[in-house]
Amino acid sequence: MAEAERIIGTPDTPDAAGDGQERPDAEQEQAAPERPRGKRRIAVLFAVAAFAYLLDLVSKMIVVAELEHQEPIEIFGDWLRFVAIRNAGAAFGFGEAFTVIFTVIAAIVIVVIARLARKLYSLPWAIALGMLLGGALGNLTDRIFRSPGVFEGAVVDFIAPKHFAVFNLADSAIVCGGILIVILSFRGLDPDGTIHKD
């Protein structure tokens, strides 16, 4: 009888020991859905960045080819005009004496965003960082490739609202991304998708 109980009980014994072996598999199953979600967020970040960058690049090419050294184009009378100018300063024409510094800052922003992308699980953060990245790349391209020289190039601006500084689409992407980041921070949403309350 004891022999029969030992034989019958044998299958149960590995199950108890098997709990320790199955636990990693269960943890892997729980962790597996997180990986594609993270990849999707990174894809969104770079898709938004690419769209913002290409839109800015194409708009500047058109402005340089068609609008530079020409009369301003009135879109809504004096309230909004398109006029081509070269800006050696930061966004909206500030700090023209620090072109190289702004170039370095833009490069640092790009590196920081690229590193942060590895921990990105939030869709709103992906959109915000994508706009920042695309805008920074757009203006950095001007800094590197436009005259008067490498890292000292003047950015092409052309959107001129009345009583406001002239700017471009890269500046708009940077400002919109920054505003979205402030909103997300106030709401307690972190880039990794967690929500905290102070």
Given the residues 15, 25, 171, 198, the one annotated as active site: 171
- Indicate if 157 belongs to the active site: yes
Helix orientation angle between 123-145 and 34-66, rounded to the nearest 10 degrees: 40
- CA proximity to 191, closest of 43, 50, 38, 33: 38
- Indicate if 19 belongs to the active site: no
61-84 residues labelled b (16+ CB within 10 A) or e (exposed): eebeeebeeeeeeeeeeeeebbbb
Given the residues 19, 157, 190, 192, the one annotated as active site: 157
Please report where in the chains the tokens 């800094």 appear, as a residue.
Answer: 143
Maximal CA-CA distance, the chain? 105
Contact 92, 159 (CB under 8 A): no
- CA proximity to 193, closest of 33, 28, 23: 33
Catalytic amino acids? 157, 171
